[in-house]
């Protein structure tokens, strides 16, 4: 029986964004993120309207390496309890910073929607008006 992998929408968007903001082929993007080329194709089609005209975010691609499912699998050395505690603190600090970043970005979108009086966020599943 083949194991079916389930990816988050954020991960799917990230892969599509990586394709549209780089000069890499779908196969190379798939290899980078350990996803089949056909899967990359489906995700790029799903987010085509959102990312196809976007080329100014190349610097964000470097942050993709810190997202789970993108780093190559490596054997990690055994850590002492003190090292584990320190690592936990580092990860909690990173999580807190990313949560704050997410909150700020959401607020920026809310303010832009309010000022421009347009809907920036897409409604998933709903057909968009033309």
Contact 70, 7 (CB under 8 A): no
Which residue did the predictor score with more confidence, 100 or 127?
100
pLDDT at 41: 93
Contact 97, 104 (CB under 8 A): no
Contact 21, 55 (CB under 8 A): yes
The pTM (predicted TM-score) of the whole model is 0.41
DSSP track, 20-41:
HTSS--HHHHHHHHT--HHHHH
74-107 pLDDT per residue, tens: 666 788 988 889 989 999 999 999 999 999 988 9
8-59 pLDDT per residue, tens: 988 998 998 888 888 888 999 999 999 999 999 999 888 887 776 655 454 4
pLDDT at 59: 44
Report d(CA 130, CA 119) in Å as an integer. 13
pLDDT at 113: 86
Instruction: Judge whether residue 60 has pLDDT over 60.
Output: no
Q: At what angle do helices 37-46 and 26-33 cross, to 10 degrees?
A: 110
Question: 93-130 in b/e burial notation, b at 16+ Cβ within 10 A?
Answer: eeeeeeeeeeeeeeeeeeeeeeeeeeeeeeeeeeeeee
């Amino acid at each position: 029986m083949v194991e079916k992998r389930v990816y988050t929408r954020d991960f799917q968007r990230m892969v599509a964004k990586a394709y549209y903001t780089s000069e890499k082929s779908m196969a190379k993007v798939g290899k980078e993120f350990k996803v089949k080329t056909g899967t990359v194709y489906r995700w790029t089609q799903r987010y085509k309207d959102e990312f196809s005209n976007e080329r100014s975010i190349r610097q964000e691609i470097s942050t993709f390496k810190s997202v789970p499912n993108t780093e190559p699998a490596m054997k990690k050395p055994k850590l002492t309890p003190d090292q584990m505690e320190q690592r936990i603190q580092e990860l909690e600090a990173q999580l807190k910073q990313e949560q704050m970043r997410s909150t700020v970005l959401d607020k920026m979108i809310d303010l832009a929607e309010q000022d421009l009086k347009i809907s920036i966020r897409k409604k998933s599943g709903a057909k968009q008006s033309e």
